[in-house]
């Protein structure tokens, strides 16, 4: 069982770490918000997505690629719009709800994007192969959270460094721009998708 756990962790981590858009999304969110709520929202989203992956198995891999790319594009663009509309001046009520909002934004950005990605397909395949969905789920979620923690801490360190040198509105514009770029790349994926 431990071998299955480490196999799931290693396979999903390697599949996800290279060229994954969510790695950049988490970094961008951590540059805008505090790291802890981003990690909480991210962890819950990864638990849910990997739960679906191991339960649904290879059905995820049969979803139409344009549908997956469309959901991903809408997610990135939606987060970009939410960040754009955000005020730079923290009021008392905004400070009070900032943590829950950061966790919700993180959850939505991750949960609503990149369904049927390499990590989910890897987890689904391992669950089907080993018939140990819970063990595969734990390994896959651990790999995804490890990836997200790396991105969040990198983004959080960047946030602290930037906060001491750059105006908050500039940070917001850059974060929105990066999310828009990711959204446009997802739209291009839809347009140039080979079935």
In angstroms, the Cα distances linking 133 to 10, 45, 74, 104, 115 are: 16, 18, 30, 27, 18
- CA-nearest of 137, 184, 135 to 21 is 184
pLDDT tens readout for residues 30-54 = 777 887 888 899 899 999 999 988 8
In this prediction, residue 47 carries a pLDDT of 94
Handedness of CA 131, 135, 139, 140 (dihedral sign): positive
pLDDT tens readout for residues 125-163 = 788 777 888 999 999 999 988 888 887 777 667 666 766
**Contacts (Cβ under 8 Å, ≥6 apart) of 80:** 176, 179, 180, 183
Mean pLDDT of the chain: 76
SS3 letters across the chain: CHHHHHHHHHHHHHHHHCCCHHHHHHHHHHHHCCHHHHHHHHHHHHHHHHHHHHHHHHHHHHCCHHHHHHHHHHHHHHHHHHHHHCCCCCCHHHHHHHHHHHHHHHHHHHHCCCCCCHHHHHHHHHHHHHCCHHHHHHHHHHHHHHHHHHHHHHHHHHHHHHHCCCCHHHHHHHHHHHHHHHHHHHHHHHHCCCC
Domain parsing of the chain, residue ranges: 2-191
User: pLDDT category, 93, cuts 50, 70, 90?
Assistant: very low
In this prediction, residue 16 carries a pLDDT of 67
Residue 97 confidence (pLDDT) above 70: no
In this prediction the pTM is 0.64
Tell me the longest C-alpha to C-alpha distance in the chain: 52
First to last CA, the chain: 37
In this prediction, residue 189 carries a pLDDT of 74
Residue 92 confidence (pLDDT) above 50: no
């Amino acid at each position: 069982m431990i071998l299955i756990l480490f196999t799931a962790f290693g396979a999903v981590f390697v599949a996800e770490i290279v060229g994954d858009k969510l790695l950049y999304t988490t970094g961008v969110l951590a540059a805008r918000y505090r790291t802890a709520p981003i990690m909480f929202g991210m962890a819950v989203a990864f638990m849910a997505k990997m739960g679906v992956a191991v339960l649904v198995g290879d059905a995820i891999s049969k979803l139409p690629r344009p549908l997956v790319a469309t959901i991903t594009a809408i997610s990135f663009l939606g987060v970009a719009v939410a960040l754009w509309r955000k005020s730079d001046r923290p009021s008392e009520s905004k400070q009070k709800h900032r943590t829950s909002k950061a966790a919700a934004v993180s959850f939505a950005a991750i949960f609503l994007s990149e369904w049927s990605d390499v990590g989910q397909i890897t987890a689904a395949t391992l669950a089907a192969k080993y018939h140990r969905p819970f063990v595969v789920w734990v390994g896959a979620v651990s790999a995804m959270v490890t990836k997200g923690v790396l991105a969040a801490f990198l983004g959080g360190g960047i946030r602290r460094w930037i906060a001491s040198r750059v105006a908050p509105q500039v940070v917001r514009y850059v974060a929105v721009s990066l999310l828009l770029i990711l959204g446009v790349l997802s739209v291009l994926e839809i347009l140039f998708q080979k079935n």
